[in-house]
Structure 1
């Protein structure tokens, strides 16, 4: 399995050993809900009755069902592995590390504190530096949105952003010189019901 995982990680461009990747997966899984949560435990008796009345199934997941947390754990592990350190981001942008920290504190770059310091998602960088229009987009993202949600938004095709009549990701849109206010408008509603 190690050779297969090593091959998969290399194909995905992830710079991590299979052991390190599996440690990331284990850490991400631990941060999510318990392995076998009982959905009914999250609600009061009255709430459970109401939810059951409208047809919501609150029974725990069966042993033969796929664990819905697996996709989230894998995405979190990839996000963490592909993220840049402050010094790697400074090198990519061509500035001093203090400028990167300043941009982080001003909300002009996205990142999170992790073991060993700040981590900055790779989606916000290009071969020429920082993604064009990034500041306008980040300013519009609601403060309560976690890095994984923002990364998923920036790398998922959006029907409202079209390049050559095909849905484009916000990252692709900005790289192609698209108006950042269109992406900012979409980003401003992250986490709100559709």
Structure 2
């Protein structure tokens, strides 16, 4: 993809980043992931491998011509980071001092992660006039071991249990529409739990 084409795509989806900056984000995200061709069997004992093979899991390394499943995650991580707000941006959105934003982060009343250059706060939790209704209840229910990308995916993926006008809605859409936070809290509380 040429730089111009990449810049067109980034502009079309509303990402305010140059093609070079976006590619740097992708490169950084890729470095944080597992090695390019991991041997899945390496992570399990012989007994565990046998049990996993018995239930149909393929533990062989990825073939050279297979699409690298990490690519989608890397792109999503880059977009999450690029669209996240800084503490200064969040303070402006909320109409408060930056110290209040840091206090809310420390208290778990806003979601964020430390990055080079300071805190990053995912955009999904903000509205044009403040924070998502019910945000504090939802954040309090989310398991603390879930990464920002998993939480962002949950908040922006339609859920069958949340319906607006007969269609599955994302937790963000549900809360923006004035829906009761309870079903979002219940769904979010089991993030990362095997089904």
TM over 0.5: yes
Deviation digits for residues 150-176 of structure 1 (CA, Å, limit 9, x no counterpart): 100000001111111111000000100
Report what 2:185 is aligned to. Answer: 184
Moved over 6 A (4+): none
User: C-alpha distance in 2, partners of 1:55/1:182?
Assistant: 34
- After the TM superposition, which residues 15-34 of structure 1 pair with which residues of structure 2 at under 5 Å, given as runs? 15-34=16-35
Q: Alignment partner of 2:66: what SS?
A: coil
In structure 2, what is the equivalent of residue 118 of structure 1?
A: 119
Any idea what SS the aligned residue of 1:161 has?
strand
Give the C-alpha shift of residue 47 in structure 1: 1.5
RMSD: 0.8
Question: What is the correspondence of 1:131-150 to structure 2 with a 5 Å cutoff?
Answer: 131-150=132-151
Normalised by the length of structure 2, the TM-score is: 0.97
Matched, 1:77 2:78: yes
The alignment's TM-score, normalised by the length of structure 1, stands at: 0.98
Question: Gaps (5+ residues) in structure 1?
Answer: none
Aligned ranges 1:1-194 → 2 under 5 Å:
1-194=2-195
In structure 2, C-alpha distance between the alignment counterparts of 1:53 and 1:170, rounded to whole Å: 37
CA distance, structure 2, for counterparts of residue 34 and residue 108 of structure 1: 35
Tell me by how many angstroms 1:83 deviates. Answer: 0.2
Q: Distance in 2 between matches of 1:42 and 1:105?
A: 35
CA shift in 2, pair 1:54/1:185, >3 Å: closer
- Residues 85-106 of structure 1 show CA distances to partners (whole Å, capped at 9, x for unaligned) of 0000000010000000000000
Paired residue total: 194
Gaps of 5+ in 2: none
